[in-house]
Amino acid sequence: MIPTPRHKEKTPCRGCGRAMHWVHNVITGKKGPVDPTATVYVMLDEASTDHPDAAYGMTAKAFMENVETITMEGGRVYTREQIVGFFVSHFQTCPKANQFSGGNKR
Ligand SMILES: [Zn+2]
């Protein structure tokens, strides 16, 4: 996984025109668009003492500002600097998502 000058560029969605990033999912092998504007949360498996009906957590942005490394199953370690962020699929946020189908989701 070698960074290139283009790997963090935003490109416009052909449906709605909003800027998005592309992520090649290393688990599934598929490439998909992600929305850099949607707020994503990290939810911990720990109940809030102030709000017992809620879990502790934080935005993914805050998580990334505080995490040092993430260790993957198998031992690969990613440092904070190697992780751009956590994103929602643009298919979840695109108002024109229903016009895309199969392998033509751009
Ligand atoms: Zn879109």
53 lies in the same domain as 77:
yes
For residue 104, with 0-12 CB atoms within 10 Å meaning exposed, 13-18 middle and 19 or more buried, which class applies? exposed
What's residue 3's pLDDT? 61
Structure tokens at 70: 């993430």
Half-sphere exposure (Cβ direction) of 41: Cα atoms closer than 13 Å? 8
- Neighbouring-strand partners of residue 62: none
Cα–ligand 1 centroid distance for 17 (angstroms) = 6
Q: CB under 8 Å to 88, separation ≥6 — which residues?
A: 34, 35, 38, 40
65 lies in the same domain as 94:
no
What's residue 104's pLDDT? 47
What's residue 100's pLDDT? 82
Q: Which residues of the chain have pLDDT under 70?
A: 1-4, 102-106
* Count of domains forming the chain: 2
55 lies in the same domain as 28:
no
* Residue 28 domain flag: yes
Cα–ligand 1 centroid distance for 105 (angstroms) = 9
| Residue 33 domain boundaries | 10-39+86-101
Cα–ligand 1 centroid distance for 30 (angstroms) = 18
30 lies in the same domain as 45:
no
What's residue 95's pLDDT? 95
CB 48 within 8 A of CB 2: no
59 lies in the same domain as 79:
yes
Cα–ligand 1 centroid distance for 54 (angstroms) = 32
